[in-house]
Structure 1
Amino acid sequence: MSIDLSGGGNIGGKSFASLGLLLTKVNIPILPDTRQVEEELPGVDGTIDLETRFGARPIELTFELIEDFEIDFHIRLSEIAAAFNPLKGQQILMLERNPGKQWKVKYNGSLPIDRLATIGTFTVPLKAFFPFAESVNPADTELKLGEGLIIGMGYEISDTIPTFNIKSSPTTITVKNAGNHEARPVITLSGTGSGIKVTNKTTGESFSFNEPLSGGNLVINTALYTAEHNSLNVFHLVLGDFPQLVEGNNVFIVTATNPSFTIDFDFRHTYLY
């Protein structure tokens, strides 16, 4: 997959260079802000640590814009405004200095520009509501040398595509999250079987489907907490957890009566930075 990162990266599939821009500085906090849940108890020093979650992450991109003529300068500003228009919703941001990863961002703030004739510099404030980086390629993409992947992303050429044929019970499978933060997959079962139970032995999370799988697809979206069978809501028929994928190998046990189905894990490797 060829991705145009000229000018330092792209937003929504449009390279910065195609907008006349050169990316000169990137400010991404090492970690997102935290949301701490704690409780005070009478007569007890300090507080009780209940939970820590991450909030959204701000990202700032500083650009240089140079044009020969005033009219061209303003044409470029119009194109830039359209490219970062927040009414488009969240867009994919990719950076040349951090290849192989992407962020989901939206313009958030104000955008003044410092000008000297037809030379301008400005900083675009963005917000990543999902505050983690994800792999550009989904996990079901076969790894190949020369794709711009970088050391430190956790990949190995021996990594396999996470789609498995289930013909016997129990069946043990392994799904790898190469990132260093939990990933939330879409799990799709296609085929036939009954009494299906899927357990992530690594985390202890599991779910079971209390109806026969008689053709079609059972789709468990662990990020949105939804369950559909042939596009019908079957949330009430799925018991248990929505299994996440922790860093590294996740060992799953799949059990069923008369199984003849495939199970596919659709996700992107997820990174704290």
Structure 2
Amino acid sequence: MTAEIIEWVDADGGVTVLDADWPAQGRFMPPITVEQIGVPRTPGGVLLDARHGVREMLISFWIIGTDEADLRVKLRDIVRKLNPAKGPGYLRATAPDGVVRQIQCINVDGVQIQEELGESSGYAAQKIAAQFKAYNPYWQDVSAISPPEWSTGVTPTFFPIFPIRLTSSEIAVDGTIDNAGDVEAWPVWTITGPGSGIVLRNLSTGEYLSFPDVVMGEGQTLYIDTRPGVKTVTLDTNSVGTNMFGAMYAGSSLWPLVPGSNAIRLEMAGITVGTSKLAVSYTQQYLTP
């Protein structure tokens, strides 16, 4: 049986394998935040909302040196790599079944070191307990899913957006995107002009994105980033971006891909066959590593 591998990916992109040990906590089901109200003269209460809260994880691991001097060098190094002032990093787990997932987090409690000879400390070995906080409580795939770009007038070869109904003046794409994660995934859409009257629908949820007054010329690209903490809409012309967030129709939402099958429809008029293009990428998210 293959042992689990735990790594720390620091803000600079450096990867450090952690010699993980017990105890550990918080890595699996994220905490639940429940909102409720009481009803006068009625037993119990009324549930208003239940959602996943900020996740905290305790990870214990060993630092092993060849001697006392080498141990000190390695301790200094791991403290630098875990410094939250550098920005968030990732805990990355390779499970015994080979699945690799990571979660963005920061070290929030320094490194707890008990400097006492015994079970957690030696002349050339030191056990560390580090507390991490993940504001997005979900583990994610290491790489986003990015199907090949689709060009109008060319039969698409990628799953899952298919089939295509196409005329010289408009495009209607009906198909499905399968989100195999445990929770929603937030797509990044790239639409290359020419084109106008853009409507991007999730038929499974009834949500849509509409830009009725946006007209893209050849070479212009509309970037729609729905990810939490980003949520931008930009029209790029010759590498110069213009904020188009205000061009969204009032009923629009930057909708996610829900778990399971999502029926997707793109509508766009005024295209040029072979030039107008659509691309999407999304990162699946999970409750557990």
Q: When the two structures are superposed, what TM-score results if normalisation uses the length of structure 1?
A: 0.81
Distance 1:32 1:60 in 2: 13
Distance 1:97 1:237 in 2: 44
Distance 2:88 2:163 in 1: 32
Aligned 8 A contact 2:160 2:175 in 1: no
Q: Deviations over 1:170-215 (max 9, x none)?
A: 2213222121110111122111111111110111110111221224
Residue of structure 2 equivalent to 1:201: 203
Q: Residue 56 of structure 1: CA displacement?
A: 1.1
Aligned 8 A contact 2:162 2:173 in 1: no
Distance 1:188 1:119 in 2: 50
Of residues 67, 72, 75, the one that matches 1:74 is 72
Q: Deviations over 1:91-139 (max 9, x none)?
A: 1221233632111011011422232222211111111111101111210
Distance 1:92 1:165 in 2: 39
Distance 1:228 1:163 in 2: 26
Please show how residues 205-224 of structure 1 align to structure 2 within 5 Å. 205-210=207-212, 211-215=214-218, 216-223=220-227, 224=230
Q: Residue 221 of structure 1: CA displacement?
A: 1.7
Query: Gaps (5+ residues) in structure 2?
Result: 115-120, 149-156
Of residues 120, 126, 137, the one that matches 2:126 is 120
Instruction: Note the aligned Cα RMSD (angstroms).
Output: 2.8
SS in 2 for 1:250: strand
CA gap of 1:128–1:166, structure 2 versus 1, over 3 A, is farther
Aligned 8 A contact 2:164 2:173 in 1: no
SS in 2 for 1:80: helix
2:237 paired with 1:238: no
2:279 paired with 1:270: no
Please show how residues 1-273 of structure 1 align to structure 2 within 5 Å. 8-12=6-10, 13-17=13-17, 21-25=18-22, 26-97=24-95, 99-114=99-114, 115-140=121-146, 160=159, 167=166, 168-210=170-212, 211-215=214-218, 216-223=220-227, 224-230=230-236, 231-239=241-249, 240-260=252-272, 261-273=276-288
Distance 1:264 1:49 in 2: 40
SS in 1 for 2:111: coil
Q: Residue 226 of structure 1: CA displacement?
A: 2.4
Query: Gaps (5+ residues) in structure 1?
Result: 143-157
CA gap of 1:201–1:23, structure 2 versus 1, over 3 A, is same
Q: When the two structures are superposed, what TM-score results if normalisation uses the length of structure 2?
A: 0.77
Q: Which moved more, 1:103-112 or 1:80-89?
A: 103-112
- When Rg is computed on C-alpha atoms for both structures, the one with the higher figure is 2
Q: Residue 161 of structure 1: CA displacement?
A: 7.2
Aligned 8 A contact 1:33 1:55 in 2: yes
Aligned 8 A contact 2:147 2:281 in 1: no
Q: Residue 55 of structure 1: CA displacement?
A: 1.4
SS in 2 for 1:74: helix
Aligned 8 A contact 1:37 1:50 in 2: yes
Paired AA for residue 286 in structure 2: Y
Paired AA for residue 193 in structure 2: G
Paired AA for residue 218 in structure 1: L
Aligned-residue sequence identity (percent) comes to 23
